[in-house]
Structure 1
Amino acid sequence: MWTEEAGATAEAQESGIRNKSSSFSQIPVVGVVTEDDEAQGVFKPMDLNRVIKLLEETDKDGLEEKQLKFVKKLVRCYQNGLPLRDLAQIFKILNLCAGKIKNQPHFIESAYDIIKLCGLPFLKKKVSDEITYAEDTANSIALLGDLMKIPSSELRIQICYQQASSSYKIQMAEVGGLAKTMVQSMTLLENQLVEKLWVLKVLQHLSTSEVNCTIMMKAQAASGICTHLNDPDPSGQLLFRSSEILWNLLEKSSKEEVIQQLSNLECLLALKEVFKNLFMRGFSHYDRQLRNDILVITTIIAQNPEAPMIECGFTKDLILFATFNEVKSQNLLVKGLKLSNSYEDFELKKLLFNVIVILCKDLPTVQLLIDGKVILALFTYVKKPEKQKIIDWSAAQYEELQLHAIATLSSVAPLLIEEYMSCQGNARVLAFLEWCESEDPFFSHGNSFHGTGGRGNKFAQMRYSLRLLRAMVYLEDETVNKDLCEKGTIQQMIGIFKNIISKPNEKEEAIVLEIQSDILLILSGLCENHIQRKEIFGTEGVDIVLHVMKTDPRKLQSGLGYNVLLFSTLDSIWCCILGCYPSEDYFLEKEGIFLLLDLLALNQKKFCNLILGIMVEFCDNPKTAAHVNAWQGKKDQTAASLLIKLWRKEEKELGVKRDKNRKIIDFENLPGLSAEDFVTLCIIHRYLDFKIGEIWNEIYEEIKLEKLRPVTTDKKALEAIITASENIGKMVASLQSEIIESQARQDVQNEQKVYAKIQATHKQRELANKSWENFLARTSNAKTLKKAKRLQEKAIEASRHHKRPQNAIFHQTDIKGLNTTVPSGGVVTVESTPARLVGGPLADTDIALKKLPIRGGALQRVKAVKIVDTPKKSIPT
């Protein structure tokens, strides 16, 4: 953003500083690293530790003179540049000198001379020195920022004085955080313009780095710089450098954070005053360019709804500046002002239109837009170019402003309906559309963003005019729509559409498709729910709809806008044809249902729902069924098979499960649900019914509250709906009660089963014990008796510890090998306890309880009995 004036001023400033001291030269804070072997051989090594030790000494006679002598010797030694390897020690010496300045002013010159050396290229002996000494370099550069605290103008200027930058210097400044200290130093320079300008110059260089911009943003650089934009500055550098820094901060750091910093009253007041001064008194190319930059920054801030644009009066001034050329104002700010056709003023006009679009998003701005007569000002461009009238803008400029103004109206006019109507907005737009469609020779330049695709034709003008009409129609304001219909808009839109399709234009196909889509959307908005307007749409309207529906389906994938046009067409069928029986019949006669089914057969989900909805509505017409049944698709597909195919596809997408016989599996068959869960599931099933009932109940209550009396048929219908909703609620409540009662009965049954099981187990044990006692009573073998008693004791002990004892006859175990001699002399072998008596896999089931024996003795527990060594007698089993 350098200009001749600014450059000359800066050079003069720098020249003055050079003349102040003959030792000044064009040197950067951190020079470019060099590998010049000759330069590296010039400087001689010096014992820097000795210099540091000397500077740290105090309270000796003649010490100051000796210290200054050694520092001068150091400066002479490194007059060709500072080696990277020595930077840390040299900057420690610089820091020691700076610390002595307050009590020993002579050290200012020593510090000054060392800082001067920093402007020379840094020297290295090895290629790796840049990496090896990177940390030392970064810390050294950061120290320069801290030295800005020393109250010496010459020293501060010398720190800031730089003419060039290098990637290494910037990188080291980033690591060292120099940007932060330089921002903080601004607070020390409130009334010191020269030093402030040098600091701004440094920050301007540093802000070319994203890292530095982030550091500066965190140090509140944006607000700190913006609040001082109006400080006195005869050179003009302050505003120039400040705006550059703000630009860089917005582009290279967090835009949101910077906007937040600038969104306060103090910053906006400063921007407002700067912009006003430049607008009213800026006549040079540089001033106008700077004015536009400030406006762009303001526009970015205005996007934040929390920015107090209205409170500081900036919004009102911007509206005034945007409209004073079109609407005469007596305001002193614009009295006698006139914009030229220069590039900067032309850009300013477009920027002012743009800022209005941003400002109107804040609703409190609406009244200011009314007061500023913004609608009237913008409508001055909605007319055909007047050849006789001498205008200030060139033809290309006027065309671009015209398109920009119409685009701005599309955002502003819907907020200001009364102003739009009072300016005869509909009539103006329709008249302009007539000119757009006319054969009037007009060579559009089509240079701008808004003029894209409009070179040599009027498509751009038509495109934005239709956008404006579409925005107004979709407000659903009956005053606006009625006025449009009375002015013949429906017929005019159909005429434009027919004219466009009669003259195909493949070169501008995308814009033509957009125009067609907007026409159909406008017609839909006007005709929806209005039978008379649908009748006006009539057969001519049906014809243009059918024309679009016959488009080659392959074009839907072209990306030019055929998809949008088809959506608009289907919407127009719904709004402009359905409900108007003559139009419906004509649509059917022209095989419109066939075309709808052809589109449905394309199986494109984004269209299916809308097409099916239209088909359902058309089925109210008794003539539709015959057309549906007569349709045949590819491979002789019928409408019924197509619909079934779509149904299956929908089921698949929804995840509907089917069994091997293709039956739908119940979704309700969900595992792990309690009775309480099923009670909730009842409500979920009827959720939509409940919501619909709730809405109707609200309607009913509002009718009663407003003390309205519906007609008899409506009253009966409303009462029937309310009753049905109540019945659904009662049905769900009944089902929930049944679930709860069923669960209670099941709980009782479960308790009874457990109790019966306990009783059966107790009976079994009694029988087993009785059998055991009988067995012992019949046993005469002492050894066997002793073993049996020991097993009994183990069983009793195990039962006390809730364990299953081994070899216990009444605990499902075997007593194998337990031989006993019965009185008759026969030996009985008791094998194992039968599973049917002691349990098994069904032991805890209802079946087991049902089969549990309720009679019998101890011998029933014996699976088999063998008679050994004697045929005399056997024990019955």
Structure 2
Amino acid sequence: MHIVCLHIQVCKRSGLGAVFIVCVCVCVSGVYPTHVDYRGLTVERSGLAETLVMSLALMENQLSVKLRLLQTLQILSRTSEVNCSLMLRVQAAQKICFHMSECDPSGPVLFRCSEILWNLLENGSREEVTAQLSNPDCIATLKEAFLNQLLNGFRHYDRQLRNDLLVLLSLIASNPNAPLIESGFVKHLTLIVTFPELKSHNPLVRNLKLSFNHEDFEMKKLLLNVIVVLSRDLAALQLFKEGRVMLGLMLLIKPRSPEPRSRCSWTPGQQEELQLQALACLISLAPLMLDDYMTCQGNTLLLLLLDWCLQEDSFSGRGHSFHGSGGRGGKKAQMRYCIRVLRSVVSLDLEALRQDLCDQGAIGQLLGTLRWFIGRPEAEDAVSLEIQIDSQFILSVLCEGDMHRKELFGSDGVEILIQYLSLDAALIFSGLGHNKLLLSTVDCVWSCVVGCFGTEDVFVAGGGVDLLLQRLQRSPRHMLIVLIGTLLELCESPRAVTRVQCWRGERDLTAQQLLLQIWRSEEEEMGITRDRHVVIADVKRHQDEPSSTSSSRDVSSAVRDVWENLFANIYCIFWKLGFEQLSGLSAEDLITLSIIRRYLDFKVGEVLHEVSAELLTEGATPVPSDEEALKSLRQVSEDTVKTVRSLQQSILGRQQQEELQEEKLLYEEIGFTHKQREIAAEAWRTYVARTSNYSVMKEFKRLREECGTSGPDAPSEPALEGPETQHTLSDQ
């Protein structure tokens, strides 16, 4: 028997719909069955799935035929994207959903409908399915089916179907236009999500019983996920406040003790996973529900949880789920999410919340967290680095601008920061995230140390300034502005200025030379031109040099330049170090220093140029007195540039003179050496001649005798008696 024809006929009899699927099967000798892929392609081209969806309206009172039809749609939509697209084209998701609330004693209609919706989500357009299910009637149907399975379902199959319906509702909740609040689903959800942590006399949960099995555990996690999705709606947040959702989350994150488990409770692993997911929910909800967060004493509870995480002998389960990535088998995952929640609430500009944290001892506890990671081999992974960076960020926010909190940070905090600044330079460029840790450490120095004289003295005495300069010498360009800015703030202290002046880096480089090198590198990055001797090449062009590529006219580019690059900070550091008390600088350094010294004068010239250009652009003609004043100021600015250029040329001239003098001395030394070599060579030739030629030796003896009898006024003879004299002259 081989299928050779497939035909669908829809007809009406006596007002009742009926579907007839006629399969003509013929046994033909020598004919082979077609491939399953070909048959599937034929069904897709026939539009069968679309026809079956439209025929659902004819099956209102024929349950057995409807079940067969739904089963066929389930099979057709299981793997075929084409069939799913055809079904969605005729509003299949909405029509299937309407049948989920029909009276069905045996229960397969609800199961078939949910399976079809899942197939449409997996193989069709998820956005289209969500849009169709966002209809108020569909949401009411899904809510009714979910509550019925929640309250009346007792089989394993019923609980799985309940969770599937909850996932569908979660996907609908991601659509901002879905009327979930109007349907009453969110109000019911707030009661269910806090069960069994909070007791309620509401009829919905009064008689609700949980078996605390795997399906109930999955439902609890799905409910926590739904409230995060719904938190985007302000009306939903109000319902969460009325339903005490924040209190339920706080009870979930409460540190657990290793007590024996009762039958009506979660397992230790499940408790730990719920604890982590509740913390993940608080990251989104706590900033949006600050009043409830403060009422539930969230800061205190989070700090207690953080202290529990730092205890070596405390309980640790084996759950974690995906929230425990990087921290399985320990409490690092709880610490990570606890710090994340604290960071999310501290980032809000709410002084009362920050003060409450400080009153609870958050500064000391966060320092203890940082100290816990120092020296541990497991502190180098991504999760540990994230915890340390977030902890330093929280400390920076708490201590910034508050002298008392900086004093609380104290010497213990300074000691920790110095250890972080002493990180191996190889780790900074390892790509593991230590560069972010260094930036957060420098930011912590800026916020927690700078401005408090006692803390600054401890930092300077501990070698903090030296470590900042070492980082300045080895760090990439994007980190320089933070390091130089922090160094500038520290230079308000005379002790820090002394340390900067005494510092020596690699290749005996001084701090002044390092800053001059950074200035020249920044000029190259900014595109500021100099000639080959680093001298100002064009007076007019240097005066009119653009400071920034931004075209915004709300702020002067010359003024914006002050906080967008390093020039202003380097100028201020040199102003504190002094421009006169510098030694060991090359001509190139002195030329750069002459530019730095007149930095503010150049800025005035840039502002004047911008004013002139803006007046010209707008077509405004200043009054004669203003025009004369502007011209005079521009002339002063040009004279300043000329003066600096002259100074640079004089420095360059002195360098050339010094180089010529050194070259002359070198040539004189070379000439003297050649002269001595010639004398030694002549002495050697004379010695050889009078020792190898008898006539020469007799003549030499005669001359010697004449010199001996000529008296004291006779010319003396050079004492060249042998090879030893030659070697002596050569050595000279």
Match of 2:255 in 1: 384
Q: 1:483 aligns to what SS in structure 2?
A: helix
Cα 1:255–1:586, aligned 2, differ >3 Å: closer, same or farther? same
Larger radius of gyration: 1
- The yes-or-no answer on 1:344 pairing with 2:211 is no
Secondary structure of the corresponding residue to residue 381 of structure 1: helix
Supply the distance in 2 between the matched residues of 1:650 and 1:444 (Cα, whole angstroms). 53
Q: Which amino acid aligns with 1:230?
A: S
Residue 304 of structure 1 deviates from its aligned partner by 1.7
1:264-302 CA distance string (max 9 Å, x none)? 212211111111111111111011001111111111221
* Post-superposition offset of 1:690: 9.4
Match of 2:73 in 1: 203
Is 1:567 aligned to residue 434 of structure 2?
A: no
Q: Secondary structure at the match of 1:415?
A: coil
Residues of 2 paired with 1:584 and 1:518: CA distance? 23
> Quick one: which of 382, 391, 395 aligns to 2:268?
395
Match of 2:43 among 173, 182, 196: 173
Q: Aligned to 2:366, which of 485, 493, 518?
A: 493
Match of 1:717 in 2: none
**How many pairs are equivalent?**
565
Task: Give deviations 1:627-673, integer Å, cap 9, x for gaps.
Answer: 3343333333443444444445445545556666667789998xxxx
Does 1:320 pair with 2:228?
no
Check the 8 A contact 2:3/2:24 in 1, yes or no.
no
Superposed CA offset, 1:729-758 (max 9, x none): 9766655588989xxxxxxxxxxxxxxxxx
Counterpart amino acid of residue 319 in structure 1: T
> For the residues of structure 2 that align with 1:730 and 1:649, how far apart are their CA atoms?
29
Instruction: Trace 1:157-172 onto structure 2 (pairs within 5 A).
Output: 166-172=36-42
Alignment of 1:75-474 (within 5 A): 80-82=1-3, 115-117=23-25, 166-207=36-77, 208-386=79-257, 387=259, 390=262, 392-474=265-347
Residues 408 and 595 (structure 1), Cα distance of their counterparts in 2 relative to 1, 3 Å cut: same
User: Deviations for 1:53-78, whole angstroms, at most 9, x for unmatched residues?
Assistant: xxxxxxxxxxxxxxxxxxxxxxxxxx
Shift, 1:534, TM fit: 0.8
Q: Does 1:636 align with 2:508?
A: yes
Partner-residue secondary structure (3-state), 1:283: coil
Alignment of 1:666-677 (within 5 A): none
Superposed CA deviations along residues 814-861 of structure 1, whole A, max 9, x for unmatched, are: xxxxxxxxxxxxxxxxxxxxxxxxxxxxxxxxxxxxxxxxxxxxxxxx
Check conservation: 1:453, 1:508, Cα contact below 8 A. Answer: no
Secondary structure class of the residue paired with 1:341: coil
Q: Does 1:688 align with 2:561?
A: no
Distance between the aligned counterparts of 1:563 and 1:256, measured in 2?
A: 40
Q: Kindly provide the CA deviation profile for residues 202-243 of structure 1, in whole angstroms up to 9, marking residues without a partner as x.
A: 221222222322332233222221232212223322211221
SS of residue matched to 1:117 = strand
User: C-alpha displacement at 1:446, in angstroms?
Assistant: 4.3
1:477 pairs with 2:350: yes
- Please give the secondary structure, in 1, of the residue aligned with 2:459: helix
SS at structure 1 position matched to 2:287: helix
Alpha carbons of structure 1 residues 446 and 323: separation in structure 2 relative to 1, 3 Å: closer
Q: In structure 2, give the amino acid aligned to 1:81.
A: H
Do the aligned residues in 2 keep the contact of 1:537 with 1:576 (CA within 8 Å)? yes
The residue number in structure 1 matching 2:460 is: 588
Paired residues of 1:657 and 1:665 also in contact (CA < 8 A): yes
Cα offset, 1:303, TM superposition? 1.4
Work out whether residues 400 and 448 of structure 2, in 8 Å CA contact, stay in contact via their aligned partners in 1. yes
For the aligned residues, what is the CA RMSD? 3.8
Provide the rounded CA distance (Å) in 1 between the counterparts of 2:608 and 2:517.
36
SS at match of 1:333: helix
Deviation at 1:336, TM superposition (A): 1.4
Shift of 1:545: 1.1
For residues 415-470 of structure 1, the C-alpha deviation after alignment (integer angstroms, 9 at most, x for no partner) is 22221222222222222222222344424324422233444433222222222222
Residue 588 of structure 1 contacts residue 624 of structure 1 at CA under 8 Å; is this kept in 2?
yes
Alignment partners' CA distance in 1, 2:378 and 2:267 = 30
**Structure 2 length-normalised TM:** 0.69
**Cα–Cα, structure 1 residues 652 and 225, in superposed 2: closer, same or farther, change >3 Å?**
farther
The alignment partner of 1:115 has SS state of strand
Give secondary structure in 1 for the equivalent of 2:199.
coil
Tell me whether 1:607 sits opposite 2:528 in the alignment.
Answer: no
Taking a change above 3 Å as real, the CA distance of residues 283 and 666 of structure 1, as seen in their structure-2 partners, is: farther
Given that 1:476 and 1:525 are in contact with CA atoms closer than 8 Å, whether structure 2 keeps it comes out as: no
Any idea what SS the aligned residue of 1:414 has? coil
SS of the equivalent of 1:384 reads coil
1:40 aligns with: none
Q: 1:205 to 1:508 in 2, by over 3 A?
A: farther
- Aligned counterparts of 1:685 and 1:382: Cα–Cα separation in 2: 49
Q: 1:533 to 1:243 in 2, by over 3 A?
A: same
Cα separation, 2, equivalents of 1:317 and 1:361: 18
Which residue among 408, 412, 433 is the counterpart of 1:540? Answer: 412
Alpha-carbon contact 1:81-1:123 (below 8 Å) kept = no
Q: Which residue of 2 aligns with 1:619?
A: 491
Distance in 2 (CA, whole Å) between partners of 1:565 and 1:604 is: 14
- 2-structure distance, mates of 1:411, 1:310: 20
Q: 1:526 touches 1:533 (CA, 8 Å); kept in 2? A: yes
Q: Give secondary structure in 2 for the equivalent of 1:327.
A: coil
- Residues 369-401 of structure 1, C-alpha deviation per residue, up to 9 Å, x if partnerless? 111111111111233324267351111111211
Q: What amino acid is the match of 1:332?
A: P
Q: Which moved more, 1:468-477 or 1:524-533?
A: 468-477
Q: How many angstroms does 1:346 deviate by?
A: 0.8
Q: Which string of whole-angstrom CA distances, capped at 9 and with x for unpartnered residues, describes residues 69-99 of structure 1?
A: xxxxxxxxxxx2245xxx6xxx7xx69xx69
Contact 2:59 2:66 in 1 (8 A): yes
8 A Cα contact 2:114 2:164, kept in partner: yes
Closer/same/farther in 2, CA of residues 614 and 294 from structure 1, 3 Å limit: same
Does structure 1 retain, via aligned residues, the 8 Å contact 2:159–2:216? yes
- Matched residue SS, 2:196: coil
In 1, Cα distance between equivalents of 2:460 and 2:531:
41
Corresponding residue SS for 1:328: coil
Q: Distance in 1 between matches of 2:29 and 2:233?
A: 55
2:76 aligned partner, one-letter code: L
Q: Contact between 1:82 and 1:121, CA under 8 Å: does it hold in 2?
A: no
Say if 1:611 and 1:252 are closer, same or farther in 2 by CA, change over 3 A.
Answer: farther
**Alpha-carbon distance between aligned partners in 1 of 2:344 and 2:47, rounded to the nearest angstrom:** 52
Distance, in Å, in 1 between the alignment partners of 2:344 and 2:549 is 45
Contact 2:395 2:448 in 1 (8 A): yes
Contact 2:468 2:483 in 1 (8 A): yes
Question: In 2, Cα distance between the equivalents of 1:480 and 1:258?
Answer: 43
Do the aligned partners of 2:406 and 2:452 also contact (CA within 8 Å) in 1?
Answer: yes
Residue 158 of structure 1: aligned partner: none
Q: Take 1:727 and 1:401, find their aligned partners in 2: how far apart are those partners?
A: 64
Q: Is the Cα contact below 8 Å between 1:339 and 1:345 reproduced in 2?
A: yes
CA 1:591–1:736 in structure 2 vs 1: closer, same or farther (change >3 Å)? same
Matched residue type, 1:233: D
Deviations 1:502-558 (A, max 9, x none): 5x1428843332222222122112111111101111111111111111111222344
Q: CA deviation at 1:331?
A: 0.9
The one-letter code of the counterpart of 1:341 is: F
